[in-house]
Copies of this chain bind each other. A is one copy, B any other.
Amino acid sequence: MNSSADALQAPSDSTENGAQQIRDAIRDAIVERRLSPGTKLSESDVGNLFNVSRTLARAALQALSYEGLVSVEKNRGAFVAYPSPEEAGQIFAARRLVEPGILRSAAERITPVQLRQLRQLLVEEGRLMSERGQPARRAEIKASGDFHLMLASISGNLIMQRFMEELVARSSLVIALYGQSSVSSCGHSEHGDIIDALERKDVETACHLMLHHIAHIEADLDLRERKSFGLREAFER
């Protein structure tokens, strides 16, 4: 779709392990909220869905559990993670702790072409916001996360990039559970402000804006009230 967005996607090597493809597919489904927190992911079902054996399905679920997107309970199976309010707070606390540092690193290394890519990501995000329909909503969710991921990528630290991928994905889960307003309508302009600050090398302001941005997202959460799902999901956890 978009070259700058594609640059972020997983290598998508054709030599990819079978389990990894399944993991990526399920992760996308979780991040884009086609799978709700608490949903049971049985090994047989996953295997049948992707026409592979339970072995690979299990490996994929195991991998997702290491990312915190799936929780596996011994002898009970795997479920889409249902982060508690405490977990939600810790996820955002981690982001507040980490993203300013990533931003600083990124500011040091960013090139003009990367700045252009960031802006391109932004217009794509805006385009999706104006579009209507479920697919656009899903793409918007992903694009909004891609902004933060791209910054991590620019920082040049693969380890922090991986960590941010985990945090962004888990954030999506938290927002799905506790978010009140529609997703990131406010976030979009804030992303732009951060890019502006980056462009004029005003790192301190950029960090400040980033912290404000994260606080803004967090402020939209209502950690007291849980969104209601089906009766069954409400009690099987």
Contact of A105 with B by CB under 8 A:
yes
A157 to B98, CA, bound (A): 13
Known contacts A63-B66, A66-B63, A101-B98, A157 near B93 by CB under 8 Å: yes
Selected from B59, B91, B163, the residue in CB contact (under 8 A) with A62 is: B59
A156 to B63, CA, bound (A): 25
Which residues of chain B are within 8 angstroms of A158 by Cβ–Cβ distance?
A: 87, 90
Closest B residue to A161 by beta carbon equals B90
For the A-B complex with A94-B159, A97-B157 known, give 15 more contacts whose Cβ atoms are closer than 8 Å.
Answer: A17-B74, A59-B62, A68-B159, A87-B158, A90-B156, A91-B159, A93-B157, A93-B160, A94-B163, A97-B101, A97-B102, A97-B160, A98-B98, A98-B101, A163-B163
Contact of A15 with B by CB under 8 A:
yes
B160/A94 in contact, CB under 8 A: yes
In the complex, per-residue mask of A193-225: 1 if CB is within 8 Å of any chain B CB, else 0: 000000000000000000000000000000000
In the complex, per-residue mask of A70-108: 1 if CB is within 8 Å of any chain B CB, else 0: 000010000000000001001101100110011001000
Beta-carbon contacts under 8 Å, A123-165 to B: 156-160, 163
Copies assembled: 2
Residues of chain A whose beta carbon lies under 8 Å from any beta carbon of chain B: 15, 17, 59, 62-63, 66, 68, 74, 87, 90-91, 93-94, 97-98, 101-102, 105, 156-160, 163, 167
B98/A97 in contact, CB under 8 A: yes
Closest B residue to A94 by beta carbon equals B159
Known contacts A97-B102, A98-B98, A98-B101, A15 near B74 by CB under 8 Å: yes
A101 to B63, CA, bound (A): 28
A62 to B65, CA, bound (A): 12
A163 to B17, CA, bound (A): 25
A157/B62 in contact, CB under 8 A: no
Which residues of chain B are within 8 angstroms of A15 by Cβ–Cβ distance?
A: 74
A97/B105 in contact, CB under 8 A: yes
- With a 10 A CB-CB cut-off, give which of A17, A97, A101 has the most chain B CB atoms: A97
A159/B62 in contact, CB under 8 A: no
B157/A90 in contact, CB under 8 A: yes
B17/A90 in contact, CB under 8 A: no
Instruction: Please give me the 8 A-B residue pairs with the lowest Cβ-Cβ distance, nearest first.
Output: A97-B101, A66-B66, A90-B157, A94-B159, A90-B159, A94-B160, A93-B157, A90-B158
